[in-house]
Amino acid sequence: MDAAATTSPVPESLFPPASPLVSLDFSTLKGKLETYMRAEDIGRIEAAYHFSAAAHEGQFRISGDPYISHPVAVADIISDWHLDPQALIAALLHDVMEDTHISKQEIADRFGKVAAELVDGLSKLDKIEFRSKEEAQAENFRKMLLAMASDLRVILIKLADRLHNMRTLDCVRPSKRRRIATETLDIYAPIANRLGLNTLYRELQELSFEHKFPMRFRALSRAIKAARGNRREVVGKVLKSIEERLPQWGISAEVHGREKHLFSIYRKMVEKRLSFSQVLDIYGFRVIVADIPTCYLAIGALHAMYKPVPGKFKDYIAIPKANGYQSLHTTLIGPFGTPVEIQVRTAEMHHIADSGVASHWLYKDDEKTLTELQQRTHSWLQSLLELQSTSGEATEFLEHVKVDLFPGEVYVFTPQGKILSLPRGSTPVDFAYAVHTDIGNRCVACRVNGDLMPLRTELRNGDQVEIITAAHANPNPAWLSYVRTGKARAQIRHFLKNAQHEESVTLGERLLNQALRPHGLTLGQISAFAWDRFLRDRGVRSKKEVFADIGLGKRLPVIVARRLSEAQDQESGRPDVVKPKPAAAIHISGSEGIAVQLAHCCQPIPGDPIIGVIRKGRGLEVHRHDCTSVAKLRGDRGRWVDVEWEPGQDRMFDVTMKILTKEGRGVLARVASAIAEEDCNIQNVTMDNEQGIYTALNLTIQVRDRMHLAGAMRAVRRVPEVVRIGRARSDGRVG
């Protein structure tokens, strides 16, 4: 007998409860591993299990189970994909850095650097403080997705982790349950779909639906159970017909009938606004054949048996989905007029459809298909890294990734015949950025199927798209209102941010130079000592950053000028009194770009007395002197800037006229003709009826300056039906 047995008994509270259950769990996992792994590797995994069990000792899940049951369950899920020893070790240790005192270095020393990197990629950023829960969540997703980009096993373990959490979500309070279910539907299920893990994707959707909308889930479950008896005859008849017809065509096949998942039925009901009784195709059939030619032969046999629904045949063999999925889909009108959905594929395609990228570990015999799948996945992961480099905050990065997670359903062609997959609703701008960032940035026009089309045109399956570029073109901010892909959105924002920064630096220099003149100084006279003192006192890295902040309205130029002047005075002792110079006005051309904007409320044009207002985050806005929207800022001298028009303008400016006319035939045509005779272009027209016999016309026209506008207004005034004319003001009046 062991000597320890004669000592006083140890209190039971020091032992984690239910340890026999834990041992049984690992023995089950061990049995799976023995089917495909060497004994020494299983020994290392078992050591990781004991290490994890010791680290989590005394910790319990909300359900009351010992915490170690969760890592074992995660490892069990990924063992079904035949993942390697490092992945299994990481699965068993995936929570130790978060929930215990174990460090990354300790894991690396015991189990190797690869396993430690995987665990680190799976650990949340708990040590950093964030401004909000949403920001913390977004930053954790960014870390996980970037770790996934360098090693795909990170996301496979994380998906297994989320699957087990969803399976055991009943013990969590309802509000948290709904939040986790929503997060799973928004992020994890689409990632599983994007990686081709179809079985996992469907289960995550079903579990999320059950926990997010429990009453809807139960009601739909009852409806489907009730419908099974009614529709069993149809299903049996179709199944028998297929099994009899295919051998007649010399086709050997496996035929499976399946009930569609609750979530896909629910989504169809919501999207098409149908009741359950109107959703007829709740059953589908899968035909698995030997090779690709037989797939097409089987479709021919099925179409000869039942009439196909026009437009419902999809060939994902010739053009696979972005996640590598291949199959032929068709919908037939079966017995009693019931639509029947059928998928035809080979056994290899079936493996890929169920396991996606995990097939790399499961079915290494089908190297050609798997290599193509890995290439697609690799290009998507690289696009994540590109999004990360162009996205600023984590929430913006997550927004772009969410856009790209939803599967592409539009397949378009380049002029060279290459196929690109894009999300539904994509435009030629999305296409341009999908080809190359530089093509997107230089895009000016497009041809769709040989015809010149607007850049906001929605692309359709089979369109051939040609992008026309120009050397000096730049992205247009308006593109953000209609692009669909995360890459296009991120690249446009990245370019605009950089452009705004450069323009803000230039504007900031001009504003600061103007603010220094009352102190008898110019920027060139400010010494290095004064600048160093200013930058050090305010924790700013460079002069360029100060200029950018001034240009964006984050710092007031008069205050910066005063501080620089004081620092300059301190360096030279008490200088001679310098006679202040009047601050020179900043010249405005109207084409400065993003940092200087002409206000939309009052539409200033050359010849108008103008004032500049510094708006935080938006730079310099130029208004007319009498604009009511800036009247309240008159007292804040630091916010407004003296500006004047640059002489010799040679561009057109938008201005809106309000014209009151009597009712009459052809009035609008005569007004438009008068404006055209003055060499003005009409940009926009709106009409309102006023008091029955009068009509108010709002015309936005383009003019060179105030004199040009006056000529146009005189010409309009000569039209007999015109009663009153004037410029539209921000307060709604005419003046």
Note the pLDDT tens digit of each residue in 90-131.
Answer: 999 988 888 778 888 888 998 988 888 888 877 754 444 444
> Is 106 an active-site residue?
no
Q: What's the start-to-end Cα distance of the chain, in Å?
A: 106
Helix 367-390 vs helix 486-516: angle between axes, to the nearest 10 degrees?
20
Kindly state whether residues 312 and 450 are assigned to the same domain: no
The structure tokens listed for 518 are: 């009352």
The dihedral sign for the CA sequence 417, 422, 424, 430: negative
Residue 391 counted as domain residue: no
Residue at a domain's end among 595, 625, 645: 645
User: Is 342 in contact with 302 (CB distance < 8 Å)?
Assistant: yes
Q: Single out the residue in 195, 212, 229 at which a domain terminates.
A: 212
Tokens at 367, concatenated:
């190297």
Identify the helix (H) or strand (E) that includes residue 329: strand 328-333
Phi, psi of 8 (to 5 degrees): -60, 145
Q: Residue 523 domain-assigned?
A: yes
Give the span between the Cα atoms of 328 and 345, in whole angstroms. 6
Same domain? 207 vs 71: yes
Residue 51 lies in a domain: yes
Among 645, 670, 689, the domain boundary falls at 645
Residues 241 and 317 occupy one common structural domain: yes
**542 and 474 within one domain:** no
Q: Is residue 519 a part of any domain in this protein?
A: yes
Q: Which among 620, 583, 582, 584 has a CA at the least distance from the CA of 604?
A: 620
Q: Are residues 505 and 618 in the same domain?
A: yes
203 and 222 fall within a common domain: no
Q: Domain range holding 338?
A: 217-363
Average pLDDT by consecutive 10-residue portion of the chain (735 residues)? Answer: 34 35 63 86 90 87 86 90 88 86 88 88 54 59 64 84 90 88 85 82 92 91 77 77 90 85 85 77 85 93 90 86 84 81 90 72 50 62 59 56 59 82 86 90 90 89 87 83 83 78 76 79 82 79 80 74 78 53 62 68 86 73 82 64 77 87 84 88 79 80 89 90 84 60
Task: Assess whether 547 and 637 both reside in one domain.
Answer: yes
Which position among 98, 244, 566, 636 bears the catalytic label? 98
Give a yes or no: residue 733 inside a domain: no
Distant-in-sequence, close-in-space partners of 115: CB < 8 Å, separation ≥ 6: 48, 86, 89, 90, 93, 107, 108
Instruction: Please report whether residue 3 resides in a domain.
Output: no
Looking at residue 542, its pLDDT comes to 82
Q: Count of domains in the chain?
A: 5
Q: Following DSSP, what letter does each residue of 566-594 receive, concatenated?
A: HHHHHHTSSPPPPPPPPPPPEEE-S---S
Q: Identify whether 98 is a catalytic site residue.
A: yes
What is the reported pLDDT for 365? 47
> What is the model's pLDDT at position 225?
79
149-166 as b/e, with b when 16 or more CB fall inside 10 Å?
bebbbbbbbbbbbbbbbb
pLDDT confidence of residue 1: 35
pLDDT reported for residue 300: 93
CATH code: domain of residue 680:
3.30.70.260
* Cα-to-chain-centroid distance, residue 701: 38
Q: Is residue 382 part of a domain?
A: no
- Pair 94, 145 in one domain: yes
Task: Give per-residue pLDDT as tens, 465-480.
Answer: 999 998 888 888 788 8
Same domain for 715 and 605: no
The catalytic residue among 84, 99, 502, 545 is 99
Q: Is the pTM of this model over 0.85?
A: no
- Is residue 86 domain-resident? yes
Query: Does 667 lie in the same domain as 637?
Result: no
